[in-house]
Chain A
Amino acid sequence: MGGRRVGFAFSSALTLMAIFFFFHQGLAYGIDFKGGILMEVRAREGVADLALMRDKLGGLGLGEHDLQGFGQPSDAAIRIAQQPGGEAAQQRAVEKVRTALGPGFDYRRVEFVGPKIGDELVRAGIIAAVMALLGIMAYIWFRFEWQFALGGAATVFHDMITTVGLFSFTQMQFDLNTLAAILTIAGYSLNDTVVVYDRIREDLRKYKKMPLVELFNLALNETLSRTVLTSLTTMLALVALVMFGGEVISGFSIAMIWGVIVGTYSTCFISVPLLLYMNMRRQVEADDVQGSPAGGKTVP
């Protein structure tokens, strides 16, 4: 709690930076959102000759495209921006690439997302993120008091925004998997926060006279070992995913690792300190006075 001012300052800076990067250079949207074509090819023999492939693709007039080595030396990923001229044009572009590269390649993966679908996925993504935030807030409000709901929402918001900021800053591919990771982070981060909130609520009833700062510190310390241990086990699982999960979900895994770190941090430095400014104690005591035998809404 002592470090709360530093924490707030740091988080505000982080959030502002995230927002700045988001508006300044945006996100490197994958084809899920932007529309376009993604092809993953593997040379049937030997390594993929990227320079030669690049030459072949360059002559096709496909507009903005990108060829990269990917995973093993025999593999390459081809990304092609959305082709003007609707859905059929995307298909023709895929055909062109196949013809240009010739028979020496296996097409391990071909994806294309038409312009309409991309827009719909963006909308669905935004709706899902907002709904997640509202749903989680509603649940906490229902189980705790409104202050907790606000604190939790601010924390989740912080974690989501900074994750988006990370993807903007590094220009890592932002696709449906990343979005899934962000929603999972929201769930995970709150998991942490709720555990501490639970303890705060318990301690508020137990130590009625204790100053809030001291009480929050106590609750944080009581739950700290759990917070750290769980973060560690989750992190171990994620490390396994990054190491062996393959390229397809590496974006997801990296986002999640960031989420676990930032989620743990924000639990200690944002979600709890924020409660200080929301006139906590009176509310809980009021609940206790009118309260049910179990003391309001908790079952200690």
Chain B
Amino acid sequence: MVHYPQWKAVLVLLACLAGMLYALPNMIPKSTLEQLPRWLPARQVSLGLDLRGGSHLLLEVDVNAVRTERLNSILDGVRTALRAAKGGYVNLGITGDAVTFKLRDPSERDTLLSTLQGVDNEAAVTMTPDGDGVVRLSELAVAARRKAAVEQSIEIVRRRIDETGTREPTIIRQGEDRILVQLPGVDDPERMKALLGKTAKLVFRLVDLRATPVELTSGRAPAGSEILFEESRQPGQPPVPMAIQRRVIVSGENLVDAQATFQNGEPVVSFKFDSIGARRFGDTTVENVGKPFAIVLDNKVISAPVVREPILGGSGVISGSFSVQSAQDLALLLRAGALPAPLTVVEERTVGPGLGADSIAAGVNASILGGVLVVGFMLVAYGLFGIFANIALFFNMVLIVALLSALGATLTLPGIAGMVLTMGMAVDANVLIYERMREEIRNGRSVIAAVDAGFQRAFATIIDSNLTHVIAGVLLFGLGSGPIRGFAVTLVIGIATSIFTAIMVTRLLIVRWLMWTRPKALPI
């Protein structure tokens, strides 16, 4: 029985209409779109970075640095505690993931144990009767720290990117310790990478004037200090070594503002401390007039000015060999805050806007040519029924675009390839149905019976053959790298819509045609 209930026909027509309504915004320029009434769908397909240009960066948080830093602070704590308690020790150091040492006098074990347990409440202290001591961080504490470090990193990365004024960035956590950053339309990815790759730990420390020239050149520093380098102001000159006290006067956490300005025609960064920072900085400068202090960023000395008078107002400037851009960038980094752990860029994919535009053009051309070829082929192969199939194909494309727009899925270049490929394969369902009809006609069935059998029998086959394809598509999505995902999405959407259009729309058309013309033979 060729039968197509009225309600079904209405539903199919409604679906096609809705498809056109949702696909339409893609044909209208954005400016016009904003003037349309609010109730009309106005979402366009969002284009992937490979089509509109931009940078995709995968950053990795160096979570091991978090542990190392923690172990170092435990090491310092143990040293201080043992000295304070006058306990003799040797071989204090970090072995693997623990701080180890050996007591000179094992009998002190019991008295020292309680002192050492106070060093860090997330670490466990064990000592053997021979006096071998191990301070180990609990795994739970390490894991919590890592998690916190990644979360904090995301926050800092977001602040830094927002400060640059990049529009619509995507910043998401990926896996355990990675951050995916997508920056549409960024034309200077190198600057972004430089900004994101800096830890930006700023500290103010005193210069150790006890260091002798021999110590400086040999890299050994007096106790309580370390050798750091200052970039020479004359280009081409080697960096200058300096002994810097380990004790931190004020760190970047106490900054409330930083701006790039000019002083004596040179770009500098002015900053403001909060009340704690201002007091500490004031106290230190009162005691150290005439002596130099160092402004250290990520273990590099930016500058080491001499304190001419106490700095009590809580603000100051950092001068150094800055360009306008680098002063701005430093101010930005200081405002946004320091990363808890270093970040490395482990993957980058940047597409310039020119290539993006070319790719869109290529995609459009390929779609048009593919469409024309397939439509022409179906016409030649099936005549009138080919027209029906082509109308279904048209709605198929409309529905894909509509779904992509409505779902907010991202269209990538492989996604366009997926659409072109879908055009080729979408007609498969029609071919299956039509071939079945031809066969039934050959077997001497009536027109109505042949049409009916064509749809009925082909149905299970269509479902089976397409579901296997969906499986492949879903796995592609799971494999999940940006553009490939885009391909998988359009492929799966395309399969779903093509089943709908090839079966429902074509059937609607053919049944209506049968009712109107009551043909004696099928033109197929």
A contacts, CB < 8 Å to B: 32, 40, 42, 86-88, 91, 94-95, 98, 106-114, 116-117, 121, 124-125, 127-128, 131-132, 135-136, 139-140, 143, 176-177, 179-180, 183-184, 186-188, 190-192, 194-195, 198-199, 202, 222-223, 225-226, 229-230, 232-241, 243-246, 248-249, 252-253, 256, 298-300
B424 at the interface (CB under 8 A from A): yes
Q: Check A237/B370 contact, CB under 8 A, given A140-B468, A187-B468, A299-B460.
A: yes
| Cα separation A132 to B352 with both chains bound (whole Å) | 34
Segment with Cβ contacts to A, from B125-133, B215-223, B412-420, B513-521: B412-420
| Cα separation A32 to B58 with both chains bound (whole Å) | 13
Cβ contact within 8 Å between B366 and A240:
yes
| Cα separation A180 to B483 with both chains bound (whole Å) | 10
Cβ contact within 8 Å between B424 and A235:
yes
Cβ contact within 8 Å between A188 and B425:
yes
Provide 29 A-B residue pairs closer than 8 Å at the C-beta atoms, listed in order of the A residue: A88-B197, A107-B350, A107-B352, A108-B351, A111-B350, A116-B60, A116-B346, A136-B471, A139-B467, A179-B479, A184-B421, A184-B491, A188-B469, A192-B465, A194-B465, A198-B461, A230-B427, A233-B377, A233-B424, A233-B427, A237-B424, A238-B421, A238-B424, A245-B362, A245-B363, A246-B366, A249-B413, A252-B417, A256-B421
Closest to B382 in A: A229
Cβ contact within 8 Å between A128 and B479:
yes
Closest to A144 in B: B464
Residues of B within 8 A of A241 (CB): 366, 370, 417, 420-421
B457 at the interface (CB under 8 A from A): yes
Which of A95, A226, A240 has the most chain B CB atoms inside 10 A of its CB? A240
Cβ contact within 8 Å between A237 and B355:
no
| Cα separation A190 to B469 with both chains bound (whole Å) | 8
Cβ contact within 8 Å between A240 and B420:
yes
Cβ contact within 8 Å between B424 and A234:
yes
Cβ contact within 8 Å between B348 and A112:
yes
B381 at the interface (CB under 8 A from A): yes
| Cα separation A176 to B482 with both chains bound (whole Å) | 10
Q: Check A237/B373 contact, CB under 8 A, given A177-B414, A180-B487, A245-B366.
A: yes
Chain A nearest CB from B442 CB (Å) reads 10
Residues of A within 8 A of B14 (CB): none
Residues of A within 8 A of B197 (CB): 88, 91
Cβ contact within 8 Å between A40 and B355:
yes
B369 at the interface (CB under 8 A from A): yes
B374 at the interface (CB under 8 A from A): yes
Chain B nearest CB from A103 CB (Å) reads 13
Chain A nearest CB from B484 CB (Å) reads 5
B444 at the interface (CB under 8 A from A): no
* Chain B 424-454 interface residues, beta-carbon cutoff 8 Å to A: 424-425, 427-428, 431-432, 435, 438-439
Closest to A118 in B: B347
Cβ contact within 8 Å between B425 and A234:
yes
Residues of A within 8 A of B420 (CB): 237-238, 240-241, 245
Residues of A within 8 A of B337 (CB): none
Kindly list the 6 A-B residue pairs having the minimum CB-CB distance in the complex, ordered from nearest. Answer: A237-B424, A187-B472, A240-B370, A246-B362, A234-B424, A187-B469
Cβ contact within 8 Å between B425 and A191:
yes
Cβ contact within 8 Å between B374 and A124:
no
Residues of B within 8 A of A188 (CB): 425, 469
Chain B nearest CB from A285 CB (Å) reads 20
| Cα separation A135 to B345 with both chains bound (whole Å) | 35
Q: Check A187/B355 contact, CB under 8 A, given A111-B348, A177-B414, A237-B370.
A: no
Give 8 A-B pairs besides A117-B58, A237-B370, A246-B413 with Cβ atoms closer than 8 angstroms.
A109-B349, A128-B475, A128-B476, A131-B475, A183-B472, A225-B438, A234-B424, A246-B363
Residues of B within 8 A of A198 (CB): 460-461, 464-465
| Cα separation A166 to B375 with both chains bound (whole Å) | 31
Cβ contact within 8 Å between B374 and A195:
no
Q: Check A245/B417 contact, CB under 8 A, given A139-B468, A187-B468.
A: yes
B190 at the interface (CB under 8 A from A): yes
Cβ contact within 8 Å between B350 and A109:
yes
Cβ contact within 8 Å between B377 and A232:
yes
| Cα separation A187 to B60 with both chains bound (whole Å) | 35
